[in-house]
Structure 1
Amino acid sequence: MKTLKLAAVIAVFGTMFFTSQTLAGSLSDSNALLVTQAKTELKPQLKLPKIEPLSKPNYSLKAHDANNINALLTQISQDLDKGDFQKALEGCNAVLKIDENNFAAYFFRGFTYTQLGEYQTAIADFEQAIRIDPSSAYPYFGRGFANVHLEKYRESLADFQQSIKTEPEFAHAYFWRGIALANLAQTDEAKSDLQKAAELYQKQGNPEAAQQALNVFKEIETA
């Protein structure tokens, strides 16, 4: 994975639980499936990969400003971990006041907006992150994830594909691409992605998410 390190390496483990509704309706229906309210919720544990992180160094910044950014990004990751999204937003905005092209701040702010259900706003931040560093898998994943929740399933597929191209073992991208494909009634492709996601989650020490992916696989298979 290509990463561009800041002056200090920040290990970001923002443990999030993204809630999507389970699939409903007949998979044989020619219409795209809708994501609908169901008895159980999909809560694959979305644990961000270790990000070292993600911003091109801005050598025009003074050392004091660079240190402030590093401290703010560390705090943002902690706020995300605690689910304090308002504070995380404030931190991202503070970083962007110092460095208006900070990749990590845009990525984290987009990520935070997805947690608040503000998916269109999140997309704008992910697109800014892509503009700054189009080589990273993460903002493409974020934009795809937001589009799934906006029921723009076709639009999400290219982003998940780009994430997987850059990070071939990006389990979350396989999982959510599977969800998008299922909602487009492409059931064989959806099951393949969900099975791959389960394998990767298991390999990466996330058995809960692996089981959730298999549960969705079985739901599709038996619908």
Structure 2
Amino acid sequence: MSSKISLWAGTIGIGAIIILGQSIAIAKDSMELVNASKPSALAISVARGQGSGDYFLSGLRKQKQGDDRGALADYNRAIRINPRNANAYYNRGLLKATKLKDEQGALADYNRAIQLKPSYDAAYNNRANLKAALQDYQGALADYNRAIQLRPRNANAYYNRGVLKYGNLNDRAGGMSDLQKAAKLSQRQGNTQDYQAASDLLQQWQQTSGN
């Protein structure tokens, strides 16, 4: 009998679903560059054109308020004005993946965001979530690996990679190791809820495996 484990909720919306053999885990999307309170997240869009930056901020506000279609329209305008706005592609991809059920559109947006900004670890993590949901497990693994390479303290990517290894790649030891790393990083970073979520899932796995 399958069970549902609801973990790692994002700041805006729910993360991509990863299908496992005996359970469903909710993967955590990386949300760092979606928060308007962090000016560095907006630097690229604003610097490349005031109009594009204005629409980006408007889309961000609407996305937080739950106006998905309004947010989509604003991100579309931001991208039309400045086709090199990596953050707008990223936010639009997140919106398509989590709210609009447009997986292929989201994948194209994440691809473009990464093309424009190769160091975009959050986009790699989210693209990996989407690939895992589409059952491209090797592609997802490669993206999680890249996200961790770019930011070794990325607890989200360790958690998600652990879920992928344990449930889809027949690598239970590797999955548990990644969950342990995610829990340690979350604890060190003061993310109590994330630490508890990773610890609880790890404990469940250990009980199932008889460890």
- Asked if these proteins are the same fold (TM beyond 0.5), I'd say yes
How much has 1:24 moved relative to structure 2?
Answer: 4.5
The structure whose residues are more often helix, as a share, is 2
- TM-score scaled by structure 1? 0.74
Q: CA contact under 8 A between 1:103 and 1:132: conserved in structure 2?
A: yes
What is aligned with 2:50?
67
What is aligned with 2:194?
209
What is aligned with 2:15?
18
Moved more, 202-211 or 86-95: 202-211
Residue 83 of structure 2: SS of its match in structure 1?
coil
What is aligned with 1:143?
127
What is aligned with 2:205?
220
1:160 aligns with 2:157: no
Higher relative contact order (CA 8 A, sep 6+): 1
Structure 1 ranges of 4+ moved more than 4 A:
21-24, 41-47, 54-59
What is aligned with 2:5?
none
Q: CA contact under 8 A between 2:27 and 2:160: conserved in structure 1?
A: no
User: Taking structure 1 as reference, are residues 199 and 88 closer, same or farther at Cα in structure 2, changes over 3 Å only?
Assistant: farther
- TM-score scaled by structure 2? 0.78
Residue 132 of structure 2: SS of its match in structure 1?
helix
Residue 17 of structure 1: SS of its match in structure 2?
coil
What is aligned with 2:40?
52
Instruction: Map 1:36-115 onto structure 2 (within 5 A).
Output: 36=24, 42=26, 47-48=31-32, 50=38, 52-53=40-41, 56=44, 66-115=49-98
Mapped partners of 2:188, 2:134: distance in 1: 30
Q: Once superposed, what is the RMSD of the aligned Cα atoms?
A: 2.7
List gaps (5 residues or longer) in structure 2. 1-9
Give per-residue Cα distances to partners, 1:123-163, cap 9 Å, x unaligned: 11111111111122122112101111112222101111111
